[in-house]
């Protein structure tokens, strides 16, 4: 019997009941020192799995991708579009049916056809969800995503500040309460996208902007939710969403794509041959790229010049918006620009110019085959994109190259967190299903450890 999406409460979160805890699978991983000098007890922790931000190539993953992107689809058509033999396709389809993430659609079988190869299959997405958490400098989003990569629901809250231990406990508690309401869907995975430097193998994070050092983000969420957890740099995650969920043909083996992000922070990610390049020492930074803007101020560096905070400071100085209060926001600045306020228009135009020239500098250094920009600095004011493009064209010394705006618009943060939660399933669907709790609909809810460092 097919289950349906649970009802949604006025707050935007699905209503339902918390499920009874059950035992989970653990693995032993090395303990890491906490910021307070102690050790978070990691002798028994749920799996922390490095994020899989790449176009899959294993047979089961390729078959699952064909069903996800083209389903309902017959087995022989899967063989045609993937280049796999019909025998291989049949074996993988059978395994995916047994794992419970594909289903047959006998009602769509070709009339008069004989045998199972003509019975279409599709992703059985209704019984499941994955949970994405985007930890931003100001806002944390919790996202429920289905197996097709579609956002089912999202809630936002202010990112907790103060000690990292209390902040992580608060985020884990919010995720627990949110997840417990999805009583009609089985949670499979948790994906975290965040700024800072991520240790993907352990789920630990250094985030200077938040004041976090060696923060056990992955272990805390795994302990609290009882599910596998993957943690990724947020810009890498957004580039992964473009790669795996964007409506484009899969990239060639040698294709490169540059993704540039700007909102409260700035960053970039490079995809090579269908995989987001993630250096072992953490992502590079473009925050300190030299720029100059008298109108926006800043310190002569990119992030301090084009960030939301820089725009707000300049707008308050020019008295475009009040010094404080609910109307002292970037949205209010953009509204004033749209209404013809010359000072506001000049501010957003200057931001567009600086961003366009910075993107040109990165393009000229890396010369990617594809160039994508994302983040609200680009998407919240689409009227400014022609200014970005003209500044880009004037600054770049290489032949003309189009800039593509992210396919996810202002939803790019939730798309990034969603793909981190789905990447393991897309890369190894059968192996991923073996990692999660077996009982259908059993949300593993446990009390968070009190020993998280402050």
Q: What is the pLDDT of residues 199-235, one digit of tens each?
A: 998 899 999 989 999 999 999 999 899 999 999 999 9
Query: Rounded CA gap, 242 and 257, in Å?
Result: 10
Q: What angle do CA 246, 159, 235 make, to 5 degrees?
A: 30
Task: Characterize the bridge pairing of strands 404-405 and 266-272.
Answer: unpaired
Is residue 115 left, alpha or beta, with left meaning phi > 0 and alpha meaning psi from -120 to 50? left
Query: Rounded CA gap, 451 and 454, in Å?
Result: 9
Other CB atoms closer than 10 Å to residue 244's CB: what's the count? 25
Query: Rounded CA gap, 266 and 281, in Å?
Result: 18
- Give the helix ranges, DSSP H, for 199-340: 217-225, 234-245, 302-306, 308-317, 330-338
- Angle, helices 86-99 vs 75-82, to 10°: value is 120
Query: Rounded CA gap, 149 and 395, in Å?
Result: 37
The CATH number fitting domain 59-123, selected from 3.30.530.20, 3.40.30.10, 1.10.10.10, 3.40.50.1010 = 1.10.10.10
> Residue 370: what pLDDT?
94
Q: What single-letter DSSP state applies at residue 422?
A: H
Q: What single-letter DSSP state applies at residue 108?
A: G
| Integer angstrom CA distances of residue 436 from 99, 225, 338, 351, 433 | 11, 11, 49, 45, 6
CA-closest candidate to residue 64, choices 434, 425, 433, 438:
425
Of the CA atoms within 13 Å of residue 351, those in its CB half-sphere come to 36
Query: Rounded CA gap, 268 and 378, in Å?
Result: 14
Cβ 418 vs Cβ 132: under 8 Å: yes
Copy the structure tokens of residue 117: 């190869």
Query: Rounded CA gap, 192 and 266, in Å?
Result: 18
The CATH number that domain 127-240+412-435 falls under is: 3.30.420.40
> Residue 26: what pLDDT?
32
pLDDT tens, 263-313?
999 999 999 999 999 887 778 899 999 999 999 987 899 999 999 999 999
> Residue 16: what pLDDT?
34
Cβ 411 vs Cβ 168: under 8 Å: no
- Three-state secondary-structure class, residue 111: coil
> Residue 286: what pLDDT?
95
Other CB atoms closer than 10 Å to residue 70's CB: what's the count? 13
pTM above 0.75, yes or no: yes
Q: What single-letter DSSP state applies at residue 296?
A: T
Query: Rounded CA gap, 292 and 394, in Å?
Result: 16
| Integer angstrom CA distances of residue 267 from 306, 372, 418 | 12, 12, 19
The CATH number that domain 250-406 falls under is: 3.30.420.40
> Residue 301: what pLDDT?
96
Domain locations in the chain as residue ranges: 59-123, 127-240+412-435, 250-406
- Three-state secondary-structure class, residue 143: strand
> Residue 299: what pLDDT?
87
Per 3-state DSSP, what percentage of the chain is helix, strand, and coil (rounded to 5)?
A: 40, 20, 45
Same fold, 127-240+412-435 and 250-406: yes
Weakly modelled stretches of the chain, pLDDT under 50: 1-31, 33-39, 43-44, 440-454
């Amino acid at each position: 019997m097919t289950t349906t999406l649970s009802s949604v409460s006025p707050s935007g979160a699905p209503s339902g009941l918390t499920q009874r805890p059950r035992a989970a699978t653990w693995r032993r991983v090395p303990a890491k020192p906490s910021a307070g000098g102690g050790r978070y007890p990691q002798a028994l922790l749920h799996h922390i799995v490095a994020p899989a931000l790449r176009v899959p190539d294993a047979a089961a993953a390729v078959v699952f991708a064909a069903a996800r992107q083209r389903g309902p689809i017959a087995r022989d058509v899967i063989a045609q579009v993937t280049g796999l033999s019909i025998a291989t396709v049949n074996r993988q389809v059978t395994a995916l049916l047994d794992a419970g993430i594909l289903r047959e659609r006998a009602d769509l079988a070709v009339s008069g056809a004989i045998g199972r190869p003509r019975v279409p299959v599709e992703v059985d997405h209704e019984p499941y969800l994955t949970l994405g958490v985007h930890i931003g400098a100001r806002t944390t989003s919790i996202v429920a995503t289905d197996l097709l990569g579609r956002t089912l629901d999202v809630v936002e809250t202010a990112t907790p500040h103060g000690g990292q231990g209390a902040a992580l406990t608060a985020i884990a508690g919010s995720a627990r309460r949110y997840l417990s309401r999805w009583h009609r869907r089985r949670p499979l995975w948790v994906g975290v996208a965040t700024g800072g430097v991520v240790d993907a193998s352990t789920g630990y994070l250094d985030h200077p902007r938040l004041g976090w050092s060696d923060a056990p983000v992955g272990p805390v969420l795994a302990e609290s939710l009882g599910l596998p957890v993957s943690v990724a740099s947020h810009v890498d995650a957004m580039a992964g969403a473009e790669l795996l969920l964007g409506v484009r043909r899969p990239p060639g083996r040698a294709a490169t794509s540059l993704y540039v992000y700007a909102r409260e922070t700035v960053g970039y990610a490079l995809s090579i041959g269908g995989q987001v390049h993630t250096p072992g020492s953490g992502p590079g930074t473009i925050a300190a790229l030299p720029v100059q803007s008298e109108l926006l101020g800043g310190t002569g560096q990119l992030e301090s010049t084009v960030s939301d905070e820089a725009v707000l400071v300049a707008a308050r100085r020019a008295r475009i918006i009040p010094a404080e209060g609910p109307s002292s926001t970037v949205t209010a600045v953009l509204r004033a620009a749209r209404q013809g306020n010359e000072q506001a228009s000049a501010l957003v135009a200057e931001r567009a110019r600086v961003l366009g020239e910075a993107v040109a500098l990165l393009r000229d250094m890396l010369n990617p085959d594809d160039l994508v920009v994302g983040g609200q600095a680009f998407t919240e004011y689409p009227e400014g994109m022609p200014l970005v493009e003209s500044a880009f064209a004037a600054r770049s010394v290489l032949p003309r190259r189009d800039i593509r705006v992210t396919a996810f618009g202002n939803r790019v943060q939730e798309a990034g967190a969603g793909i981190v939660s789905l990447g393991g399933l897309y890369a190894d669907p059968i192996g991923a299903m073996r990692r999660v709790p077996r009982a259908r609909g059993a949300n593993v809810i446990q009390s968070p450890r009190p020993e998280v460092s402050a």
